[in-house]
Amino acid sequence: MNIEQFKGLARLPKFAIPSHYDLHLKLDLSAACTFSGTVKINLSITEKTNFLVLNANQLQVHQALFTTSGNQQYCPSDVVVDDDDEVVVLVFDETLCVGEGLLGIEFSGKLNEHLKGLYRCTYVDEGVKKNMADTQFEAADARRCFPCWDEPALKATFKITLDAPSELTTLSNMPIIDEKLDGNIKTVYFEETQVMSTYLVVVVVGLFDHIEDTTADGVKVRAYCPVGRSDEGKFALELTIKSLDIFTKYFSTPYPLPKLDMVAVPEFAAGAMENFGLIVYRDNEMLYSDSKSTARRKHRMSIVVAHEVAHHWFGNLATMEWWTHLWLNEGFATWVSYMATDNLFPEWNIWTNFLRETTGGLSLDALEQLHPVEVEVHHVHGVEQVFDDIGYRKGLAIIRMLQGYLGDDIFQVRKFTF
Ligand SMILES: [Zn+2]
């Protein structure tokens, strides 16, 4: 065996499977905008191997050590970082045996300006432009922040610790359990997540005002807005609470986390992202002003907020095995967002908008180079291309047809009695 066998692979080899990540990130938001970190990954070695192969992209790996449950330590003789394939291969002279162990890695990187992975954006504080940090990991960019098994099916729990400037708000998937101050830097400890995919991990560090409320089931919901604009977060907060109540009843499954935060950031590649427990919105998708915003904006916000909240059930709790089935994730979230909006605002007749919504899918579907809703993804470089109107809008149309064909009671399986 040699490391050439890992060139151009579509998927990571499965001779090591992660179950837990203990991730400590240290952010430097001064002009250099760099970060360093350590990650300790609980692994199950399922086949004897001289290699551990995981994802990393644009990271420097400084040190790695594998420790077995019997406390035997293995230091790799070579660490090969391949930025083309976005993998790091740890080569061991001795063979790692089947069993449990802990892989520790020290690494560092630079906050990029490409709106993916861990990236830098800016906010204005009393007329001065300052740096803040945000993440966007879907589909395959968690690997730009920390070395990991970055595939949706390889779920694990995450315990996240952040070092950040003490004057800023730090947000992640879970509530904060402890904080320590050392000069101008605070170390923030977050509660451990439940089992989830790497693409749903999130970290945001910035300056915000927030408002909050609680659902009927006791889930704390907070809306983080730019300083001085928290009034504009009220409509999104209200929509999120109502959507959580609707979906909890519709799916007969409670929302699984103690909190759901949302945050409006100034620079974001998509409209919003359903990170588990912390939805990140481009600011104009989350902020609403009664005096300035249009009725069309109100309709759009209802659809987007319900879509992101709905992903917490399918997508986040139940996840596609691989990106080939992304259309199910996005098609369902879009379909159910119409259902929720129709329930909340029946006077809007929102399903009439559905026809306009599907037009984008029809136009793409008319091209000679069309692809089916279910797309083979052979390499990570092709992943981004499946996030198009075929997946979202044709996916929505197919699910709407299926629901119409089967009828509500059968489609909503729990109402169906065998
Ligand atoms: Zn979505």
Cis check: omega of the bond before 340, within 30 degrees of 0: no
134 CA distance to ligand 1 centroid (A)?
18
Residue-wise pLDDT tens digits, 373-389:
888 887 777 787 778 88
| Residue 307 is assigned to a ligand binding site | yes
- Secondary structure of residue 304 in the 3-state scheme: helix
Residues 168 and 297 in one domain: no
| Residue 371 is assigned to a ligand binding site | no
pLDDT at residue 67 greater than cutoff 60: yes
- Secondary structure of residue 366 in the 3-state scheme: coil
The predicted pLDDT at position 418 comes to: 41
130 CA distance to ligand 1 centroid (A)?
30
Residue-wise pLDDT tens digits, 12-26:
999 999 999 999 999
Residues 237 and 201 in one domain: no
Pairing outcome for strands 157-165 and 16-28: parallel
HSE toward the beta carbon, residue 360, CA cutoff 13 A: 12
The predicted pLDDT at position 395 comes to: 86
Residues 190 and 227 in one domain: no
Residue 167 — pLDDT band, cuts 50, 70, 90?
very high
CA distance 212 to 224: 9
* Full residue range of the structural domain in which residue 130 is found: 3-206
Exposed (0-12), middle (13-18) or buried (19+): which is 177, by Cβ within 10 Å? exposed
Residues 335 and 401 in one domain: yes
| Residue 311 is assigned to a ligand binding site | yes
Residue where one domain finishes, among candidates 161, 190, 206 = 206
Stretch among 3-17, 79-93, 135-149, 402-416 having the lowest mean pLDDT: 402-416
Residues 395 and 258 in one domain: yes
119 CA distance to ligand 1 centroid (A)?
21
* Count of domains forming the chain: 2
Mean pLDDT of 292-296: 91
CA distance 59 to 40: 16
CA distance 396 to 47: 41
CA nearest neighbour of 327 among 281, 297, 365, 366: 365
Residue where one domain finishes, among candidates 154, 189, 206 = 206
Across all residues in the chain, what is the average pLDDT? 93
Could you confirm whether 308 is annotated as catalytic?
yes
CA distance 224 to 205: 11
Residue matched to tokens 């830098």? 120
Residue-wise pLDDT tens digits, 71-102:
999 999 999 999 889 999 999 999 999 999 99
The predicted pLDDT at position 376 comes to: 83
CA distance 237 to 414: 29
The predicted pLDDT at position 391 comes to: 80
336 CA distance to ligand 1 centroid (A)?
11
Residue where one domain finishes, among candidates 173, 206, 239 = 206
CA distance 95 to 304: 50
pLDDT at residue 249 greater than cutoff 80: yes
Percent of the chain with pLDDT over 90: 77
- Which listed residue (308, 347, 368, 374) is catalytic? 308
Residue-wise pLDDT tens digits, 302-319:
999 999 999 999 899 999
Cβ atoms 370, 361 nearer than 8 A = no
Backbone torsions φ then ψ of 3, nearest 5 degrees:
-70, -15
Residues 177 and 229 in one domain: no
- Secondary structure of residue 158 in the 3-state scheme: strand
pLDDT at residue 63 greater than cutoff 50: yes
Residue-wise pLDDT tens digits, 188-219:
999 999 999 999 999 999 999 999 999 999 99
